[in-house]
Structure 1
Amino acid sequence: MSKNIEGKVVVITGASSGLGESTARHLASLGASVVLAARREDRLNAIVQDITAAGGKATALAADVTRREDLENLIQHAVASFGRVDVMINNAGLMAISPIAELRVDEWDRMIDINIKGVMYGIAAALPVFQKQDSGHFINISSVAGIKVFSPGGSVYSGTKYAVRAISDGLRHEVGKSIRTTTIEPGAVDSELKFGSGHEASSQAVQEFYKSAIPAESVARAIAFAIEQPADVDINEIVLRPTSQDF
């Protein structure tokens, strides 16, 4: 258990697999009460069952981050279940890699809706609760592609992840002295993110790139590190990659 994690209420989007699932399991093992959200309710319920069977505290709500009302309902569910919200992890994401010239505009729209607007809706839902409590912690998942443009193929994806970094830094500056903001920027991590590309050649390149991926638990530990700091310490940015990854 970590005394700065134990008892905290943590809401996690994209929690049905990958980074979100690993983070939920890890934080629950450290004594947090976790609230899981994703579209696949059956997966969420199975993870909640595992956590509670192991003695942890967890609940879940089906939610689509592209629907603002879903995230408002999620925060209300968290407060109704556990009385407060201490950490909002905006993790849900889509990585649809393809050259811009392919004009896969529907995929661009989906990435903007999930990766940018989904984060903004999460912020909009949790911020009033944090302000009322005079405490809270946003953890927004960006990417190494939000530091360096992943091209060819990832230009739009990088654009969305640069936006997450920019919004997070502005949020940190605006929300005052009692609300923390952390941006996590992972490299290749084993998750379903690598399956998001509909463009065949790009998908094959991504699968090859991800052969060096590190486990999702690596990111879960980084998130726990940010949460467990004393309230007057705000870990603003964590970048982590496979040791062998040059990008």
Structure 2
Amino acid sequence: MPLSVPSSATWRRRWTPSSTRSPGTADPALPNHNRRERTVTVTVPTRAPSRSPIPNDQPLVGTVALVTGASSGIGAATAAALAAHGAAVAVAARRKDRLEAVASDIREHGGNVLVLESDITDEPQAGDAVERTVGELGRLDALVNNAGVMLLGPAVDAPLSEWKQMVELNILGLLFCAHAALPHLLRAASEGPRQVADMVNISSVAGRVARNGSGVYSLTKHGVGAFSESLRQEFSNRYVRVSLVEPGATATELAGHNRPEVLERIRSQFGQTMDAQDIADAITYIVTRPRHVAVNEMLIRPTEQER
């Protein structure tokens, strides 16, 4: 059972100096009018943790979030979930038509959303997505680095263009967005409505366990994990929380970019899968924690997935 300590606690105890007692005398706890007593008062100040009030219904009211890779899957579900919790949301991806569909759904449910057609593998475009978010929505309290690509297959005949594509999007795109966003997140942590900011980086179970045929994809996700932990340590005392989310098998478009034979192998390996909403719920949980709580890492697998 956890110990509950008030903001200031005082204990008083009566005691008898040993010099007033001789061997064989009665227990000093028993009444004895000839016994000298002293009262010692000890006051132990304790500091209550700084906590921001969080309404139960929409804890993100007044905040702004930028979600990359938001045209489908985990990104689209996350943008909708954050908007439902009160955040104004900027959605970034290359496919503007898909972004407009995501934005339309958010608006139908009363959300505030900004559409950003952006290729974050291009450094200026990544920076522009962040600056437009701040310029048009007023601030940036949360960045969800979700954009990524997974191209699997034997290394011996893998097109180098696929390896380059994964490195550019999964690593460089994330770095470009993180670098552009950090000054704004630091400002939100000191001046924002919740006095805390979040960067959530989406990795994968492949960032923990490398599989045959997933070498470069696993490399990129291990890198995301290392980068996230370094940033977490650097900014924790400034209340920019950096979280790593590692989904297992999830039913999204991610696997669909692979060649047909690889896609068939993926489907045969994983029976049960999660939905994008399962991961969006986890991300929403992370960013709605009170100021004094940070969820540093979250590994999420389907119940039946072994590794």
Q: Is the 8 A contact 1:137 1:181 kept in 2?
A: yes
Identity over aligned residues, as a percent? Answer: 36
Q: Is the 8 A contact 2:59 2:86 kept in 1?
A: no
Aligned to 2:276: 216
Secondary structure of the residue that 2:113 maps to in structure 1?
strand
How far the C-alpha of 1:153 sits from its partner, in A, is 0.8
Cα deviation code 1:18-73 (max 9, x no counterpart): 00001111111121111100000011112111211211111111011101111211
**Which structure's relative contact order is higher, taking Cα pairs within 8 Å and 6+ residues apart?**
1
Aligned to 2:201: 140
> Please, what TM-score do these two structures have when normalized by structure 1?
0.95
In the alignment, the residues of structure 2 paired with residue 237 and residue 2 of structure 1 have an alpha-carbon distance, to the nearest angstrom, of 25
2:120 matched to 1:65?
yes
Q: Is the 8 A contact 1:2 1:228 kept in 2?
A: no
Structure 2's unaligned 5+ residue stretches are 1-55, 191-195
Secondary structure of the residue that 1:212 maps to in structure 2?
coil
2:176 matched to 1:121?
yes
How far the C-alpha of 1:99 sits from its partner, in A, is 1.3
Structure 1's unaligned 5+ residue stretches are none
Q: Is the 8 A contact 1:138 1:180 kept in 2?
A: yes
In the alignment, the residues of structure 1 paired with residue 120 and residue 271 of structure 2 have an alpha-carbon distance, to the nearest angstrom, of 29
Cα gap change, 1:75 to 1:211, in 2 (>3 Å): same
Aligned to 2:255: 194
Q: 1:157 aligns with which of 217, 230, 251?
A: 217
Aligned to 1:231: 291
In the alignment, the residues of structure 2 paired with residue 77 and residue 58 of structure 1 have an alpha-carbon distance, to the nearest angstrom, of 12
Q: Is the 8 A contact 2:92 2:129 kept in 1?
A: yes
Q: Is the 8 A contact 2:120 2:177 kept in 1?
A: yes
In the alignment, the residues of structure 2 paired with residue 30 and residue 84 of structure 1 have an alpha-carbon distance, to the nearest angstrom, of 17
| Cα RMSD for the two superposed structures | 1.4
How far the C-alpha of 1:114 sits from its partner, in A, is 0.5
Aligned to 1:184: 245
Cα deviation code 1:73-99 (max 9, x no counterpart): 111111122211000000001000011
Count of matched residue positions in the alignment of Structure 1 and Structure 2: 245
Aligned to 2:144: 89
In the alignment, the residues of structure 1 paired with residue 105 and residue 220 of structure 2 have an alpha-carbon distance, to the nearest angstrom, of 33
2:226 matched to 1:166?
yes
How far the C-alpha of 1:102 sits from its partner, in A, is 1.6
Letter in 1 for 2:266: V
Cα deviation code 1:79-126 (max 9, x no counterpart): 122211000000001000011112321111000000011110111110
